[in-house]
Amino acid sequence: ETGVTQSPTHLIKTRGQQVTLRCSSQSGHNTVSWYQQALGQGPQFIFQYYREEENGRGNFPPRFSGLQFPNYSSELNVNALELDDSALYLCASSLSRGGAYNEQFFGPGTRLTVL
């Protein structure tokens, strides 16, 4: 069973550009969540996808968007990059069975630097 993988590992962009980050969920998982972790801070929830539909969103502007594919892999897209978007972006997958608790398994993250 493979764990959660993310690509790329590191990325450097300039202000105003667009970026796409990718996540492969753990086998059998149908839910993916994305978090932004700024340097020295805890992760902040961006949004979650369940069976290809957005299922909750944190306090992030619309230029942060996502997709989940039929194989439950996912993308995070950020448009019009700003310097403050520099962070570690974490993806977490889980198997939602309808109960309240579903353990989330985190990937190693993508480190995005915006210059």
Site for other proteins, rule CB under 8 A = 4, 31, 33, 35, 40-45, 48, 55-56, 58, 90, 92, 94, 96, 100-109
Complex with other proteins: residue 1 or 103, whichever CB lies closer: 103
* Concatenated DSSP letters of the chain: ----EEE-SEEEE-TT--EEEEEEPPTT--EEEEEEE-TTS--EEEEEEETTEEEEE-S--TTEEEEE-TTS-EEEEE-S--GGG-EEEEEEEE---SSS----EE---EEEEE-
Complex with other proteins: residue 12 or 38, whichever CB lies closer: 38
Minimum CB–partner distance for residue 91 and other proteins (Å)? 8
Complex with other proteins: residue 40 or 62, whichever CB lies closer: 40
Minimum CB–partner distance for residue 16 and other proteins (Å)? 29
Complex with other proteins: residue 31 or 74, whichever CB lies closer: 31
Minimum CB–partner distance for residue 22 and other proteins (Å)? 15
CB atoms within 10 A of CB 41: 10
The amino acid at residue 110 is T
Minimum CB–partner distance for residue 15 and other proteins (Å)? 26
